[in-house]
Amino acid sequence: MELQYRKATSNEAGRVCHIVRHTKDMIYPDYYTQEVVEYVDRYYTFEIIKSDIEQGITRVLVKDGEIIGTGSLTGNHIMRVYVLPEYQGQGFGSKIMDELEKEIFAGFDDCVLESSLPACIFYENRGYKTMKHIKEDIGDGKCMIYELMRKEK
């Protein structure tokens, strides 16, 4: 098995977008209503992901030539860490997080991230602590719950 972690390139925006949206669509319905799942899509558009790639903040994990996971960072903030469902539970998410944290801790004393409900335990197991529970109004009396989490160096 050959693993490569690197910056994403502009021509990979479609694949990164697919990984994020497909994984969300497969995992989130076990935790959130359909309205919440659809609401989150506004943060995962092709245009946003392509812009983040062009800004140099998006990374990919490539296994045997195929992109299977992604994560982004800006300052000390980790965003949009996703691994395709068929590759979850095999350490690939941890590999992405190890690399993102290494980059951040080179210049900061802590990492922060927003965690969806399905990812909270994963982050807690990595030493992240919940700083705040966030209840975001998504309209029509619906809300999305997520965690603001932090890990110190």
- Give whole-number Cα distances, 135 to 41, 69, 146, in Å: 17, 27, 7
Q: Which domains does the chain have, with CATH numbers?
A: 3-108 (3.40.630.30)
Name the percent of the chain lying above pLDDT 70.
Answer: 100
pLDDT at 28 over 90: yes
pLDDT for position 1:
85
Asked if 128 and 95 count as a contact pair (C-beta separation under 8 A), the reply is: no
pLDDT at 116 over 90: yes
